[in-house]
Amino acid sequence: MITKTFVTKLKREIERADTERSKIVRETNGYVREAKHAIFSLHRGEVSQAAASLRSLEGKLGKLAKQAEKERLRGEGSLKAAVEEFLEALYFYRVFEKKPLNAKISFAVGADEQLAALSDLTGELVRAATLEVTRGNVRCVAQYRNATEELFGALLSMNLRGSLRQKRDEARRNLKRLEEILYDVSLKS
């Protein structure tokens, strides 16, 4: 009924997929860390360092994503997480530079990855606003609040489910935090 060659072929395919999956997990751990470092560089005002890191990361992630696509592993969780973190860092950089968020990326990304990154971006905008207030730069807070309101409005216009809905809810909380920061600043002015 089942031949040994058939079973051997299936076993080989599973082992190859496991090997590729392990490779993806290993590589993406460093990529997530690198994206987080780019975000922290932006928080510290090290824009050129963040930009260089993002360019490097885009090349490495693009190469890995294309390889994963060939192996039918593009949906691997660790790769999706690394892409989301990269996109979040890229979007934060674009906000920081006052540029549109629809940056051209050298590899294919899914709408779910982009929406997750946009939702998470609102948290970085809260952190950036908090840092700017402590530095005495109140104007940026309004800019970050307006960007968050625009992002939340876009997310609200979509019928999101599961983790994306949870992320949208977090974006709503981030908008509220930014409004509270603005309110507190207005009381002290």
Q: Tell me the pLDDT tens digit for each residue of 41-67.
A: 999 999 999 999 999 999 999 999 999
Residue type, 176: K
Q: Where are the beta strands (DSSP E) in the chain?
A: none
Q: Domain locations in the chain?
A: 1-102, 110-189
- Cβ distance 82 to 113 under 8 Å? no
121 pLDDT exceeds 80? yes
Say what the pLDDT of residue 19 is: 87
**pLDDT for 17:** 83
Average pLDDT, the chain: 93
CATH number of 110-189: 1.20.58.2140
Q: Determine the pLDDT at residue 103.
A: 76
